[in-house]
Structure 1
Amino acid sequence: MSRFGEVPAYARRAEKVDAALYNLWRRARLHLRLPLRFELPGNPGVAMVVEDGHWVCVNSWQQDLPILAWHDFQQHRDALHEPVGCTLDYYHFAASRYRQCALDAMADGLGRCLGKAT
């Protein structure tokens, strides 16, 4: 389980996440038991933890200390193809280097899990 919320953020930014990834997460919330954990390829000790209300990239070697956290997703949007606003917290000065890799690992992992579930 991630320690998201227990650690003060280094920086906080408004962010938009891709609609396809957000929709995949919404499906996972309906069909899978969360939280789910996906290791980041090429980044030993770093994992993406997907929970019901947030996504957290963590350092597994430091008791799941958060590196990045996506949360406070804007639930209302006009169309399913539109990006979804959220808040992105940075917990490490070099966290941005993990951002895209974490989202890719989440998309791949959720796709595999949902493929098995259906």
Structure 2
Amino acid sequence: MYKQDPTVLTNDTRFRFKTFAFDVEAQVEEYDLDAENGVLRLAWHGWNEAKGDEFLDVYHAWLIQKLDYSRILILTQESQIGTLAKELAKSVPNTMMLGHQSRLDGLVTFAKDWKK
């Protein structure tokens, strides 16, 4: 059961999505917004219920900070466990890297729209 509307993120929000052709169940583990100082820490844990080579467990975290002169700082961390993730990371062109860059581009757009 979801704790809230899936379009609004807060701590413990659960959601499902498909990424890189994988079905993922996920939950926001960290959502700490300091809008006054233009800083957001966001992290989610994602997994599937598969076993063996189909098993997947990931954790993604971002620290987003608005800086002076319309600059944005984004630090990102990621942990991936499972054969699927390992194999995808070897793809050429690197599908995972390109997909993550697309997410970063979306975070930049979001951060630029923040009101301080």
Query: Same fold, TM exceeding 0.5?
Result: no
- Structure with higher RCO (Cα < 8 A, 6+ apart): 1
Structure 1 or 2: more helix by fraction: 1
Q: Which has the higher Rg, Structure 1 or Structure 2? A: 2
Scaled by the length of structure 1, what TM-score is found?
A: 0.38
Give the TM-score normalised by the residue count of structure 2.
Answer: 0.39
